[in-house]
Amino acid sequence: MTTNSDGTVSRYGTVNTAADGEISFQLNSGEAQMYLVVIGAPTTHTSYVWEAGWPKIKRYPYELRIANAVPEGYQSGYRSAFKTSGSAHANGGGWVAATATVASAVYVGPNALVLGSSNITGTARIDGTAWVDNATVKDNVIINGNAMVNGGSYSGSATITDNVVLNSTTVSGTAAFKTDALEFGGTFGGSVIVGGDAEIVSCSSGVYLQTPDPHTGNQRTDCDGKGAGDVTNQDVNAAYTQFTDTQMAFSTSIGCGTVAPPAAGVVYKITNKNSGKSFCIQGVSTANGAKLTQYTYQAGAHQQFKVDTAGGGSYFKLIPMHVTGKVLDVNGNSTADSANIIQYTWKSTSNNQQWTFVDAGSGYFNIKSRSSGKCMGVNGSSLNDDVEIKQFTCSTTAANQLFTFTDITTIIASGTIQSTATATQDLKPEGLYIYPNPAKSLVTIELNGFTSAENVSVYVYDIGSGKLVTGKDLKNNRKLSLNVGALHMASGVYFIKAAGTTKVLTNKLVVLD
């Protein structure tokens, strides 16, 4: 799937299934990110007791190779929003804020961040895409992977890796944190190992790969000292080795071609380059004369348009999917600039209802009227919702006249398209979605994966302090809007948790000044 620059979903690709295969997928102009969603379908059903823990939950590893793209964390400009005052560290090239202190012998990898009032000394190593903020790190500590360390003190030969999140924690000795461990405070030393999905209290010995539950779950208690050989830590998943380079090689040379023009029979979301907003029939009207406007995409059928042949040759009609028998039309068959584009009953002899698509390069197209020779454009180059689409003298450089066509790909068998966001919601993988992210003002949190009947509550925590910022009971709603300013959320990282009766979903929100 791909997303727009504001984090909203742009489109979904086709579903592929294979134990071993190759997939090619191309970003359209205006799309900012691509996500590969991998779903493992087990052949047998496993029932889990409460808090079974990481070693007792089936995991399905996979390996992939990427051509003509880079994974998150390695793209140009990665985390540039946090690199406003500071410099690259001489030993490793990673970013160090001007407010932080990092000794010359410390290694800061090229994709790592050291922020706030952090003080890093000794021969510590900050690598991978690790994030260290307001923390004291010394001696031979290693922080790597995608670990996030906020506040606290870290010394000795401790290691913190993978997707670990530590907040105001004290770590020493040879303590090791790995996989998805999460801690708010606590003191850890000695040879303790904390990993899996564990959240425990202060300990200095033992191996903890699960959140302790001595009653009905995994028979672990905080700091019980059980080692790696204990039955609770024995993994039910088989060991595996990575594929060889030969096995992972592409069968052919991988290249990215030009964007194909809109095709007859396909339903599209049509988006303006300048505003990032999409075509919309005003007020979801089904009447003749209803205006075409731009609006933030909501996945309604009144924002989805089917391209079909019209008049032969390279001319097409654009059909709003929420109504039958109507097409986009130059109002009054006008040839003047600023004439409105409306919907009207289709007439095969009306050239003002026929359009051609002129390739403007980089995946953008002009939409040109057969009757007037003029092109659609957003009035006044506005960035606002509900602004009319009109016709103007054509320009291949004016951004308000350039549009992308994104294949909706949710057409159902009857040839119509679902008229609400339900189709998109059903296809979206389970998760807690936050957009925009990073954010400065309003934030939308969208949930997918809970049953329709269950009550869900959303909690926002300040990762730096561990304090609850706000909690909201959504009942059976699945979308929440937050005002960052009204909640007095300072710049930083926040932990979002959505809890229902069947599952808990989490994500991180970054707030900028």
- How does DSSP classify residue 422? H
The pairing of beta strand 492-499 with beta strand 456-462: antiparallel
Q: Which of 2-16, 248-262, 394-408 has the lowest mean pLDDT?
A: 248-262
For residue range 325-375, list pLDDT tens digits in order. Answer: 999 999 999 999 999 999 999 999 999 999 999 988 877 899 999 999 999
Cα–chain-centroid distance for residue 27? 15
State residue 391's pLDDT score.
Answer: 97
Q: How far apart are CA 380 and CA 348, in angstroms?
A: 31
- How does DSSP classify residue 428? S
The pairing of beta strand 479-483 with beta strand 442-448: antiparallel
- The strand pairing partners of 329, in sequence order, are 342
Greater model confidence, 40 or 486: 486
- 252 domain residue, yes or no: no
Residue 476 belongs to domain with CATH number? 2.60.40.3080
Q: How far apart are CA 143 and CA 128, in angstroms?
A: 8
97 and 205: one domain? yes
Residue 220 belongs to domain with CATH number? 2.160.10
Mean pLDDT of 36-53: 77
State residue 412's pLDDT score.
Answer: 25
- How does DSSP classify residue 459? E
193-194: strand order across its sheet: 107-108, 125-126, 142-143, 159-160, 176-177, 193-194, 207-208
- 291 domain residue, yes or no: yes
For residue range 300-327, list pLDDT tens digits in order. Answer: 778 889 999 986 678 999 999 888 899 9
State residue 20's pLDDT score.
Answer: 76
Percentage, residues of the chain above pLDDT 70: 91
Encoded amino acid at 12, one letter: Y
Residue 410 pLDDT greater than 50, yes or no: no
Burial class (CB in 10 A: 0-12, 13-18, 19+), 307: buried
Percentage, residues of the chain above pLDDT 90: 44
DSSP of 226-268, one letter per residue?
--TTSGGG--SSPP--PPPHHHHS-SS-----PPPPP-TT-EE
- Average pLDDT score, the chain: 85
- 30 domain residue, yes or no: no
Domain that includes residue 133, residue range:
81-233
399 and 447: one domain? no
State residue 473's pLDDT score.
Answer: 85
Q: How far apart are CA 437 and CA 459, in angstroms?
A: 17
Residue 422 pLDDT greater than 60, yes or no: no
Identify the CA nearest to 488 among candidates 470, 465, 509, 504. 470
217 and 141: one domain? yes
**Number of independent structural domains in the chain:** 3
Greater model confidence, 412 or 207: 207
299 and 358: one domain? yes
90 and 224: one domain? yes
Taken in order 369, 375, 379, 382, the sign of the CA dihedral is positive
Q: 3-class SS at 346? A: coil
166 and 290: one domain? no
- The residues, any chain, with a CB within 8 Å of residue 470's CB and separated by 6 or more, are 459, 460, 482, 487
Q: How far apart are CA 323 and CA 214, in angstroms?
A: 59
Is residue 122 within 8 Å of 140, Cβ to Cβ? yes
